[in-house]
Amino acid sequence: MAAVVEKNPMPAPSRKQRLESLLHREIATVVNQELRDPRLGFVTITRVELTSDLHQVKAFFTVLGDEKQRRLATRALENAVPYVQRAYAPAVRTRLLPQLAFAYDDHEEKRHGIATLISKARATDPSQDPAPAAGTDPAPAASTPDAAGIPPTVGTADSTDTAEPTP
């Protein structure tokens, strides 16, 4: 009898992916809990990208506020690079410690811009039918009269009705 070997539908994460996940967690923890720079404001580490040789890591961040707040946070994070690297060094077990760089993550702004363009295009497209309101059924109800004004008889006969349906 041959043994059936099932393949795992999700392959195991690669070393790079595991290291990116670890670095994301460590960098976010240090930035949010240990850095006490007032220039940071509300900074979120959104993602981390590691080069294929595992020597450089880029941490992408967003900040709540305007362009001025973004510039202040960028300078504060650039000044904190050595501290953050020392903080994640014990957790990373590689021959060489990945060198950290911070970059502003503008993906959310791009997504918002694209969504705005799509909604404007839909609003100006005359061939687009307006979408039905939430919770409404676009199909007519079964009890709605037909074009002649006669209500449908399917499923409406009660127990006192003895008339035979006509084919």
Q: Residue 23: give the domain boundaries.
A: 15-109
pLDDT in tens, 99-111: 999 999 988 788 8
Task: Count CB-CB contacts under 10 A for residue 133.
Answer: 7
Q: What is the CATH number of the domain that holds 99?
A: 3.30.300.20
pLDDT in tens, 50-101: 999 999 999 999 999 899 999 999 999 999 999 999 999 999 988 899 999 9
Q: Report yes or no on 130 lying in a domain.
A: no
- Is the pTM here over 0.85, yes or no? no
pLDDT > 90: what percent of the chain?
49
Q: Report yes or no on 75 lying in a domain.
A: yes
Q: Report yes or no on 103 lying in a domain.
A: yes
> Phi/psi at 106 (nearest 5 deg)?
-100, 15
Q: Report yes or no on 100 lying in a domain.
A: yes
Q: What's the pLDDT at 159?
A: 47
- Of 31, 47, 57, nearest to 106 by C-alpha is 47
Tell me how many domains the chain contains: 1
Q: Report yes or no on 8 lying in a domain.
A: no
